[in-house]
Amino acid sequence: MIMDEAVPVNNYKLIINLTLWYIVFLVFEALLQYVQTQLANRVAQSVTLDLRSELYQHVLKFKLNYYDKTPVGQFVTRLISDIDGIADVFSAGILDIIRDIMKLVFIVAFMFYLDWKMTLIILVPIPILLYATRIFQQSVKKSFNDVRNEVGRINVFIQEHVTGMNIIQIFNREKQEQKKFDNINREHRDAHIRGIWAYSIFFPIVELLSAASVSLMIWWGLRASIASDMTPGMLLEFSTFITMLYRPIRQMADNFNVLQMGVVNAQRVFKLLDTDATQMDHGKNLLHDFRGNVSIQNLNFAYSNDQPVLRDISLEIKEGEMVAFVGATGSGKTSLASLLNRFYDFTEGQILFDGIPIQEISLNALRKNIGLVTQDVFLFNESIFNNITLHDNSITLQDVIEASKKVGTHGFISSLPGGYEYNVRERGGMLSVGQRQLISFIRAYVKNSKILILDEATSSVDTQSEKLIQYATEKITQNRTSIVIAHRLSTVRRANKIVVMHQGRIEEIGTHEELISLDGRYRKLFELQFQEI
């Protein structure tokens, strides 16, 4: 209108009015884009929030044997990178594709309305562009799959090697591990470059085809202008439409790739969500008035079908008793403790608590009544207080302090900067092995469970720390059913019953004196340790 009506007659007022209307439409479009961006990203972040929370809640219920076989880095990739990729679908994928399709439909329809012959001429390169776009999408999808796999490999490698950094440095393997990382990093780069190569080919093709449409438009438009079938304003209008036509097509190619990437990410996330590795919990019994009696009957267990770990285990543990399990490494002691907590399910036999089969007991109620202190103590990157209470609001600071005094750890905790608010850093790296072990004893003490399992609690500490831990053991095992797994036989002499295990079977049962008099495996173990001392 400006070119054909206002300029030829020098109507400056009309030029100004039309320009102002043009600015109003541009501002209105900008406002709509703002609203779309805000709403789309709110939707995307809400989806991310819900999906990540659901995925984390799902993996929390997995059996431990699933984590035994799956690298931690894979979970990190699924929970962070892959879900962020799904969010991009909602923030920049679907809505942008819908917007671009609506633009194309409207622009092409209006072009046909203005001049159908000119429109057909301009659209001649479009089939080539659609074919190129299809090839581009397939190439980028393949390269993106490669990129996501390489990201997963990098996450697994870094998580594993940072955790085991002390081993790398002790054995001077820095150069070798750097070479491994460089290879993985190089493959990650090459996967990205393959995707970049597709972009570097596709975008010049779009520009060439856009230029071809402009050339065809000029050729046809000049002919029509000479014949007075087209005005300069219409020629300028079609030139603008060509730009508006190719820009959405180019953006749609990008957005379809975002959509494809989101689909790939979603497949990986939903595959994990669909993984049926949860610990079955059909138990209804809440163990009210639980006393702490344990009965193990003809128990058999294997991590895999061809490698039995426990064979025909039968044992009665009465309320308040301390029962010690001893034996060589691999004899099945820790596996038995894991079965009592239902970290794994046994293949044959039965475990009963106060006469109630373990399958009929709610997992929450079962683990609430069992305290566990392991050899490898895991502390979170938080304060000592939070590592003891694990954010259980029913346990107060005064409860923790009283428990610490009874266990004999209040002195060393109070000497730390900030006392109970001292941050132990990742995996408790600011504390010694013995100090971490003592923290785990307080954690078990304040839980106030009826059954306490101590799994090799003194095997990795020095003599002085062992004395403190033995003192702590005496305190926390009082008035509780206690199951003590130990290599050091000096820690189990006062047990009511000592169970000697060998190759997954119970070989001997009795008190320390009774087993010494039998002159069997226990006595040999005891004499061997005594000679070493």
CATH number at residue 138: 1.20.1560.10
Tell me: do 395 and 299 sit in the same domain: yes
What is residue 146's predicted lDDT score, i.e. its pLDDT?
A: 79
Tell me: do 257 and 320 sit in the same domain: no
Beta-bridge mates of residue 310: 301
Identity of the amino acid at 527: E
Tell me: do 394 and 425 sit in the same domain: yes
Average pLDDT of the chain to the nearest whole number: 83
| Within-domain flag for 281 | no
Tell me: do 53 and 180 sit in the same domain: yes
What is residue 486's predicted lDDT score, i.e. its pLDDT?
A: 80
Q: Report the run of H or E that residue 43 belongs to, with start and end.
A: helix 12-60
Tell me: do 399 and 257 sit in the same domain: no
Tell me: do 127 and 267 sit in the same domain: yes
Asked if 455 and 334 touch (Cβ cutoff 8 Å), the reply is yes
Nearest CA among 126, 135, 109, 137 for reference residue 249: 126
Tell me: do 310 and 250 sit in the same domain: no
| Within-domain flag for 279 | no
Burial class (CB in 10 A: 0-12, 13-18, 19+), 488: middle
Tell me: do 268 and 313 sit in the same domain: no
Tell me: do 28 and 140 sit in the same domain: yes
Helix intervals (H) in 123-231: 126-163, 165-170, 174-226
Residues of the chain with confidence (pLDDT) below 50: 532-533
CA dist., res. 210 & res. 220, Å (int)? 15
| Within-domain flag for 333 | yes
Nearest-Å Rg of the Cα atoms of the chain is 36
Instruction: Look at residues 273, 307, 327 and tell me which one is the last residue of a structural domain.
Output: 273
Instruction: Look at residues 273, 307, 330 and tell me which one is the last residue of a structural domain.
Output: 273
pLDDT tens digit sequence for 391-403: 888 889 999 998 8
CA dist., res. 341 & res. 501, Å (int)? 19
What is residue 352's predicted lDDT score, i.e. its pLDDT?
A: 94
CA dist., res. 528 & res. 218, Å (int)? 99
Q: How many domains are contained in the chain?
A: 2
| Within-domain flag for 509 | yes
| Within-domain flag for 285 | no
Tell me: do 256 and 298 sit in the same domain: no
Neighbours of 145 (CB within 10 A): 16
Q: Which domain holds residue 314?
A: 294-532
Residue 362, sorted as left (phi over 0), alpha (psi -120 to 50) or beta, turns out to be: beta
Instruction: Look at residues 213, 242, 273 and tell me which one is the last residue of a structural domain.
Output: 273
| Within-domain flag for 402 | yes
Tell me: do 262 and 312 sit in the same domain: no
CA dist., res. 225 & res. 234, Å (int)? 10
Asked if 449 and 262 touch (Cβ cutoff 8 Å), the reply is no
Neighbours of 198 (CB within 10 A): 20
What is residue 533's predicted lDDT score, i.e. its pLDDT?
A: 44
The percent of the chain in helix, strand and coil, each rounded to the nearest 5, is: 65, 15, 25
Tell me: do 258 and 299 sit in the same domain: no
Identity of the amino acid at 222: L
CATH assignment at residue 329: 3.40.50.300
Residue whose structure tokens are 């996501």: 148
Asked if 443 and 388 touch (Cβ cutoff 8 Å), the reply is yes
pLDDT tens digit sequence for 278-315: 777 888 888 888 888 999 999 999 887 767 889 999 99
What is residue 295's predicted lDDT score, i.e. its pLDDT?
A: 94
CA dist., res. 444 & res. 455, Å (int)? 12
| Within-domain flag for 178 | yes
| Within-domain flag for 494 | yes
Burial class (CB in 10 A: 0-12, 13-18, 19+), 60: exposed
Strands of the 451-455 sheet, one edge to the other: 370-373, 451-455, 481-485, 322-327, 497-502, 505-510
307-317 and 481-485 strand pairing:
unpaired
